[in-house]
Chains A and B, each alone.
Chain A
Amino acid sequence: MELTGAEMIVECLKAEDVEYVFGYPGGAVLHIYDAFYKQNDVKHILVRHEQGATHAADGYARSTGKPGVVLVTSGPGATNAVTGIATAYMDSIPMIVITGQVPKALIGNDAFQEVDSVGITRPVVKHNFLIEDVKDVARIFKQAFYVATTGRPGPVVIDIPKDVTSAKTEFSYPSEISMRSYNPTVKGHPGQIKRAVDIMLSAERPMIYSGGGVVLGNGSEQLRQFTRKLGYPITQTLMGLGAYPATDKQSLGMLGMHGTYEANMGMHNCDVLIAIGARFDDRVTGNLEKFCPYAKIIHVDVDPASISKNVKVDVPIVGEVVQVLNEFNQALEQTERTPNASALEKWWQQINEWRSQDCLKYDRESEIIKPQFVLEKLYEVTKGEAFVTSDVGQHQMFAAQYYGFDEPRRWINSGGLGTMGFGLPAAIGAQLAHPDDLVACVTGEASIQMCIQELATCRQYGLPLKIINLNNGCMGMVRQWQEFFYEKRYAMSYFESLPDFKKVAESYGHIGIKVEKPADVVPALEEAIAQKDRLVFLDFITDQEENVYPMIPSGAGLNEMILV
């Protein structure tokens, strides 16, 4: 059957089982919107700013594992989406972003709402396409979904000129695709796997360091088997939280700049480091010259370019984490060798000594609300079962430290790019994907204002989010660095004209509650959760002077932490 380019886009999305498209209309995409209007299979969620569309699609993708889909117009529609595309790129999130483009004949003419979307997005996408002929629509969509979701996932932009969306041709969606220039490695090298197993069984002070790749690759179950089988301590990155249960006794919590004392000391002193789906980010390693000085390093990653990029490793294994972990587990099953029990016992004694530092202690008697207290109580009240999105800053670190994630895909934050404004729209995507679950957005008074317009989207679609606004009246993390490293010169980190968030929430049709006393924290959280069908904006007035501890100052090693 002959279809227009616009109708084909709808058909392609249907063929890919796309539930939701997050978008905002404009001139260049009107044919596509018209095609959406004539069908009910793919639901369109109207955001209030294109950045919100990308973060919402991102939150949908992170909470489900399926690609998020975005539709925006040319020019400013595309440029507004760039922050969200870069956010997804840095955290390897599968996403398809369809950007309208001016008609082909006008490309390069500085036409109204024209921008070189392919050029602008090139450094922040896994791949991008400009569709020049309506005959290519089906093939390019198939390729885009394939590229976005396989190997190390990432965002793919499809730029489509307006005249291509109105042109007609025969349509059939390819059932299979192969690309001569793209074949992601799936299975790890058997020889390397054998070597890795040998080394890990010889360890006296082992450490497992797992990252976002385990969540993205759906390897949580295999990671649990692997870790329990060995009985080794495990630490997880900001992006990996939940792949291994935080409440398990083998878990040492998060590592890195604001990681726990036991995790970072364990890293520094280990003799074998097993890195799985993690990329040795600078916020994790601290000073590279002081990083894991005694360790033989095994590194499993689906992306060969992640291996030996920052840290030279001894046993590189390129492959999907599920495949490689399955092979590890099989090899451990088959071998007669077992971990060195006496060495391991000594190692756990040492770790428990570090643990007894209780590095996440804080003043629980405070008369001002402590941000840590809110997160601890949020965990208790939600029984640790909520999907938690966050913005960027102190509240993000507190959430990572104090909300114990026991399941993967529950913790949704912008780890790589550190995008303020991410939390609220990401929560929209997560709530749409999980309508019966509790979705909380942990944010601060600075971050929330970067995408606060999406409160209207929540109203339109009846999304009962719980917004946990840790309002300390300043950009907490900036303030903390200025206190530590700039002799308390608080340049531009304070707000003198904050809105009344209760009224803001109410004016968007939601419930707003201001909470000023520690005793009111739990009742307010309970009230918010009791409001099953309503978005509740909880504005917690928290201690301005509170800092995130522990902390590794930049340039220091993992064993050089600042403790409370």
Chain B
Amino acid sequence: MRHIISILLENESGALSRVAGLFSARAYNIESLSVAPTHDPTLSRMTLVTSGTEEVIEQISKQLNKLIDVVKLQDLTEDAHIERELMLIKVEAVREARDEVKRLVEIFRGRIIDVTETTYTIEITGNGEKLDAFMDALSSITIHEVVRSGLLGISRGTRVLS
């Protein structure tokens, strides 16, 4: 099953490679990973999407907790939570495609953030399924470039990871 693990990590050089190294060394799967500093500059927050049986996920959590740089972690999928991903996508926009793309962007509540005579660059956020659906909707359009952030997640309600 798919799990989203949120990790508070010491904001130190090498911390990311300890996490990434653990996953490759123990043959765990990483679907996506995103990391950046938090409001406390000594801490980074990482969101990691993985999958496996309950036993494997339990081991992943335990092994992550063993890393000295890991301050705290939480399996977001255990509770109500919000998932978001950002996608930047550059598409060909000439003749009738210019209007078609604009309409699709509106339907999916994205934004066109850069325009040239022949291209649009679109920003769109949502969960992974929504972004996939937008890509499907663009099937008749020529896509030049896609950049996805990987999933970010946070608990619903008052619960915080700190």
Contacts and interface: CB of A to CB of B under 8 A. Distances in A.
Interface in A96-133: 118-119, 122-123, 126-127, 130
B68 interface: yes
Contacts of A182: 68
Interface stretch (B55-63, B91-99, B109-117, B135-143): B55-63
A303 B10 CA distance: 21
For the residues of A in contact with B, the DSSP-based class is mixed
A305 B66 contact: yes
A122 B62 contact: no
B10 to A, nearest CB: 6
A297 interface: no
Nearest to A119: B17
Contacts of B69: 181
B87 interface: no
Interface string A50-85: 000000000000000000000000000000000000
Interface in B18-76: 18, 21, 25, 55, 58-59, 62-63, 65-66, 68-71
B14 interface: yes
A123 B66 contact: no
Given A118-B14, A122-B17, A122-B18, A179 B62 contact: no
Interface in A146-189: 147, 179-182
Nearest to A151: B66
A304 interface: yes
Contact of A147 (B58, B65, B68): B68
Contacts of A122: 14, 17-18, 21
A182 B17 CA distance: 18
A123 B21 contact: yes
B70 A181 contact: yes
Given A308-B55, A308-B58, A303 B21 contact: no
Contacts of B18: 122
Given A119-B17, A122-B18, A127 B68 contact: yes
Contact of B68 (A119, A181, A312): A181
Contact of A126 (B10, B58, B68, B71): B68
B117 to A, nearest CB: 42
B140 to A, nearest CB: 46
Contact of B59 (A118, A123, A180, A309): A309
B10 A305 contact: no
Contact of B63 (A130, A147, A305, A312): A305
A181 B10 contact: yes
Interface of A: 118-119, 122-123, 126-127, 130, 147, 179-182, 303-305, 308-309, 312
Q: Which 9 A-B pairs have the closest CB atoms?
A: A305-B62, A181-B71, A127-B68, A123-B25, A304-B62, A182-B68, A305-B63, A122-B21, A305-B66
Contacts of A304: 62, 65-66
Contacts of A180: 71
A305 B59 contact: yes
A122 B65 CA distance: 16
Point out which of A119, A181, A312 has the most chain B C-beta atoms below 10 A from its C-beta.
A181
Contacts of A179: 68
B67 to A, nearest CB: 8
6 contacts: A123-B21, A130-B13, A130-B14, A181-B71, A304-B62, A305-B66
Contacts of A181: 10, 68-71
A78 B10 CA distance: 26
B28 to A, nearest CB: 13
A147 B66 CA distance: 11
Interface string B1-24: 000000000100110011001000
B51 to A, nearest CB: 19
A34 to B, nearest CB: 29
A398 B55 CA distance: 36
A159 to B, nearest CB: 11
A348 B66 CA distance: 40
Interface in B130-156: none
Nearest to A127: B68
B71 to A, nearest CB: 4
A444 to B, nearest CB: 31
A22 B135 CA distance: 60
A500 B14 CA distance: 49
A147 B55 CA distance: 27
Given A122-B18, A304-B66, A308-B58, 5 more contacts: A118-B14, A119-B17, A147-B68, A180-B71, A181-B68
A299 to B, nearest CB: 13
A320 to B, nearest CB: 16
A181 B65 CA distance: 9
A151 to B, nearest CB: 9
A9 B17 CA distance: 27
Nearest to B58: A308
A210 B71 CA distance: 31
Nearest to B72: A181
Contacts of B68: 126-127, 147, 179, 181-182
A181 B55 CA distance: 24
A220 to B, nearest CB: 26
A119 B69 CA distance: 15
A445 B55 CA distance: 43
A308 B58 CA distance: 9
Contacts of A123: 21, 25
Given A122-B17, A122-B18, A309-B59, A303 B25 contact: no
Point out which of A130, A304, A305, A312 has the most chain B C-beta atoms below 10 A from its C-beta.
A305
B98 to A, nearest CB: 46
A258 B110 CA distance: 65
Nearest to A309: B59
Interface string B108-132: 0000000000000000000000000
